[in-house]
Structure 1
Amino acid sequence: MKFTDYTATLKTFMRIPLECSPRILWKLAYNFGWRNLVNMSRFEKRQAKGKPFFPAFVMISVTETCNLSCSGCWVTPGGKKSLSLEQLDGIITESKKKGSYFFGILGGEPLLYKGLFSIFEKHSDCYFQLFTNGMILTEEVAFKMKKLGNITPLISIEGLEDESEQRRGKSDVFNKSLAGVRACKKAKLFFGAAASICKGNFNDLVNRAYIDRLAKEGVHYLWYYIYRPVGNNPNPLNALNEEEIKNLRRFIVEQRKNAPLLVIETYWDDKGKALCPAATGMSHHISPGGAVEFCPPLQMAKEFINEDASNLTELFEQSAFLADLRKMTASASRGCILLEDPAKLVEFLEKQEALDTTTRNTVLQEYKNMSQVAGHDMKENAIPEENVFYKTMKKKYFFGFGAYG
């Protein structure tokens, strides 16, 4: 890295204390920062010593209900399944017993889930990343988050005006999401934007002008995903090809040198080798119907939490289904088996007699209909990190935990 890159990275980090309220900073530093370090250390030791399994992080989809119906989304349009407040509370309580205090809260649209903020308030010692489309993230909601201090909204923006309307099935989506961004800035929150990159939005969102625009709107981090053509309305023609994924990776590495916000992804380690967070055991997912799932888009499972999720630890520790799925996916590829080898995944799911966990009950057939598309495992074309900060963090937390031998 050049000296100018070091100063640019420092300037990016300094935005956070300069722009966020003191309560937000304290919760970010202690609930997320310190507790995460301790949790990851405990997880690493459990994995190394072969102790009973429990993931480092639990992703929780609280409801299927959503105010959008996006192409390529795994959430059931019009779905009504939701976790009870007792189940959501229990998931968090059981996870805390294992040292895990960080949770991804997904939907549907989680802001449509009644009682969500009462859970955030009850578990004030935790930190929550709220995945939202931002359309109902008003100033009133943002200031509730400021008062609690333990929530970082991650606002999904799937393209500029035209692409957002085409992809998400409603008009004026981009501007309404942008209003949510501005509400977060006004409340002095620590917040991010996310984008699932596909052919349709690549040119709009994978460029420095877009990063600069988000930074000017107050966004502190940008999380890039790779589009997965799943759900009842997939569009495989919109999936990235190998060259586009390589270009996305190269862009991320280059922008991390001096971008005015943090550039996040969870696909590659410090050497640029691909990994799957679920295959490493780093994270698993609880569905709106209480299923203990491998990851959010893989909507088949064999275990379900009870009425208060008091059996969650037992399920994670004793699930042969999840253990075998971790081994199988890790042996198949360092990338995403859902994209790279859906036929092998279907064979595994049928052999295991896994259950569809959705309202629509068509997931297995959807996987059978899937065609192979490019994943993020670039093998010999791996592009290593160049920014020292990202390289250090990836080396510590993204080395596979033995999943790949």
Structure 2
Amino acid sequence: METFQLEEYLSNGVERIIKGILKASAGNPRESLFMVQYARDGRKGRELRRKREEEGVHIPPFLIASITNQCNLSCKGCYARENERKEGFLVKRMLTVKEWGNIFEEAQKLGVGFVLLAGGEPMTRREVLREAGKHKGILFPVFTNGTLFDEEYAKLFGIHKNLIPIVSVEGGEGSTDDRRGRGIYRRVERTMELLQNSRILFGASVTVTKENLEEVTGEEFLRKLRTRGCKGVIYVEYVPVDGKSAFLALEERDRQYMNDRIQRLRSGQDEMLYISFPGDEKSSGGCLAAGRGFFHINAAGDAEPCPFSPFSDTSLLDMSLEDALHSPFFSKLQKTGLLTAPHAGGCVLHQQEEKVENLLKGGAR
């Protein structure tokens, strides 16, 4: 019963996001036309997942794919760089364009509707993005620091409407430059101007901390984004992966403030789409990682529960995407109740990292 309810929850969430993007694309006929077609494909994907659910196989509608570990910035508190230090990740080779293409093709056949492309900086791998663009049944939000966007990329995103740039910003110039480096905010502004002039649908990603919470949910910040043509904001709660910045993580009252603010924004006349991650896990029955709602594929092809929990017993170089969904490690995370365990908010797997690692060590590699 729980699995069936979870599938309904996830599929309804997908449809809400698609409707939100359709609304945000109003006034841009080419984007709207594509999104109408994608909405049709989304219904087909839901039907594929429903049929597999009846067969006892749960297919999540989302994936997160870090297509590179390379980045041109060194942002404070970056989980990707911290994970590199934990895993010795630099010694591994990254998946090739063809290997990523195979993963995207299988994901579409399974009914996966969204693959979030991250890194490192995903725009350091232009050919992988070009390959992703060929798989029209999947929407690929591309999470980028916004500093590498150029006219060639404008053409690529203009042709492939299923690639949606999500530009990272931490608030105004002071907040953004403090975390990402001096002058980055102005470079991101120029990227947004190019995207707007090219009539490319794009959104913004904001890492929310105790320091910027009021700023990034405030009207002045959002008004500036609207003026620049931004059509949506994805709020991501800060996870203190470096062990030195726990004071920046949201507490329960901060999380409640953000949730209340987002609800007010959604209920207004604003045409922007607002998404929070991880959001209210109570409504989804717990953490959606490890295949419940999504899982993470790192640049080397390892299947991990999520970007903040870089542990794996499975490589997509050795097995199919569907088989990876049922890895012994993912199964243990789901069956032991760790994903649905009570926690203080934020990322439950990061907060219980020692237990997660012990589960991995107890299983077959």
* Superposed pair shares fold, TM > 0.5: yes
Question: Structure 1 residues 184, 315: closer, same or farther in 2, change over 3 A?
Answer: same
Structure 2 residue runs without a partner (length 5+): 1-18
Residue 191 (1) aligns with residue 202 (2): yes
Partner residue of 2:321? 312
Residue 76 (1) aligns with residue 81 (2): yes
Partner residue of 2:153? 141
Kindly state the Cα deviation for residue 339 of structure 1 after the two structures are TM-superposed: 4.7
Matched ranges for 1:186-265 at <5 A: 186-230=197-241, 232=242, 234-258=244-268, 259-265=270-276
Alpha-carbon distance between aligned partners in 2 of 1:262 and 1:152, rounded to the nearest angstrom: 13
Question: Structure 1 residues 14, 311: closer, same or farther in 2, change over 3 A?
Answer: closer
Residue 34 (1) aligns with residue 40 (2): yes
- 1:139–1:184 contact (8 Å) kept in structure 2: no
Partner residue of 1:109? 121
Kindly state the Cα deviation for residue 324 of structure 1 after the two structures are TM-superposed: 1.6
Q: Could you say what secondary structure the match of 2:229 adopts?
A: coil
Partner residue of 1:157? 169
Partner residue of 2:11? none
Q: Given the alignment, which residue of 139, 149, 163 partners 1:127?
A: 139
Kindly state the Cα deviation for residue 149 of structure 1 after the two structures are TM-superposed: 2.0
- 2:287–2:340 contact (8 Å) kept in structure 1: no
Partner residue of 1:337? 348
Alpha-carbon distance between aligned partners in 1 of 2:129 and 2:302, rounded to the nearest angstrom: 23
Kindly state the Cα deviation for residue 35 of structure 1 after the two structures are TM-superposed: 2.0
Question: Structure 1 residues 15, 244: closer, same or farther in 2, change over 3 A?
Answer: closer
Read off the aligned partner of 1:42 and give its amino acid letter.
Answer: L
Kindly state the Cα deviation for residue 340 of structure 1 after the two structures are TM-superposed: 4.1
Kindly state the Cα deviation for residue 175 of structure 1 after the two structures are TM-superposed: 1.4
Read off the aligned partner of 1:331 and give its amino acid letter.
Answer: T
- Normalising to structure 1: TM-score of the pair? 0.75
Alpha-carbon distance between aligned partners in 1 of 2:154 and 2:273, rounded to the nearest angstrom: 21
Question: Structure 1 residues 11, 192: closer, same or farther in 2, change over 3 A?
Answer: closer
Structure 1 residue runs without a partner (length 5+): 1-9, 355-405
Tell me the alpha carbon deviations over residues 232-291 of structure 1, each in whole angstroms, 9 at most, x when there is no partner. 575212111111111111111111111341111244469867742226712111100110
Residue 95 (1) aligns with residue 95 (2): no
Q: Give the number of equivalent residue pairs.
A: 336
Q: Over aligned residue pairs, what C-alpha RMSD do you find? A: 2.8
Q: Could you say what secondary structure the match of 1:162 adopts?
A: helix
Matched ranges for 1:290-309 at <5 A: 290-306=301-317
- 2:217–2:258 contact (8 Å) kept in structure 1: yes
Alpha-carbon distance between aligned partners in 2 of 1:246 and 1:252, rounded to the nearest angstrom: 10
- 1:60–1:105 contact (8 Å) kept in structure 2: yes
Question: Structure 1 residues 114, 234: closer, same or farther in 2, change over 3 A?
Answer: farther
- Normalising to structure 2: TM-score of the pair? 0.82
Alpha-carbon distance between aligned partners in 1 of 2:239 and 2:285, rounded to the nearest angstrom: 16
Partner residue of 2:362? 351
Q: Could you say what secondary structure the match of 1:330 adopts?
A: coil
Residue 326 (1) aligns with residue 334 (2): yes
Alpha-carbon distance between aligned partners in 1 of 2:283 and 2:219, rounded to the nearest angstrom: 21
Q: Could you say what secondary structure the match of 2:340 adopts?
A: helix
- 2:238–2:249 contact (8 Å) kept in structure 1: yes
Question: Structure 1 residues 353, 171: closer, same or farther in 2, change over 3 A?
Answer: farther
Matched ranges for 1:161-172 at <5 A: 161-168=173-180, 170-172=181-183
Q: Could you say what secondary structure the match of 2:185 adopts?
A: helix
Alpha-carbon distance between aligned partners in 1 of 2:321 and 2:66, rounded to the nearest angstrom: 15
Read off the aligned partner of 2:147 and give its amino acid letter.
Answer: M
Tell me the alpha carbon deviations over residues 43-100 of structure 1, each in whole angstroms, 9 at most, x when there is no partner. 24534x3523432222211000011112222112786552211210110111122122
- 2:66–2:120 contact (8 Å) kept in structure 1: yes
Q: Could you say what secondary structure the match of 1:301 adopts?
A: coil
Q: Given the alignment, which residue of 13, 26, 46 partners 1:17?
A: 26
Kindly state the Cα deviation for residue 200 of structure 1 after the two structures are TM-superposed: 2.5
Read off the aligned partner of 1:172 and give its amino acid letter.
Answer: G
Tell me the alpha carbon deviations over residues 344-386 of structure 1, each in whole angstroms, 9 at most, x when there is no partner. 33443443477xxxxxxxxxxxxxxxxxxxxxxxxxxxxxxxx
Kindly state the Cα deviation for residue 147 of structure 1 after the two structures are TM-superposed: 1.8
Identity across matched positions, percent: 24
Alpha-carbon distance between aligned partners in 2 of 1:331 and 1:57, rounded to the nearest angstrom: 19
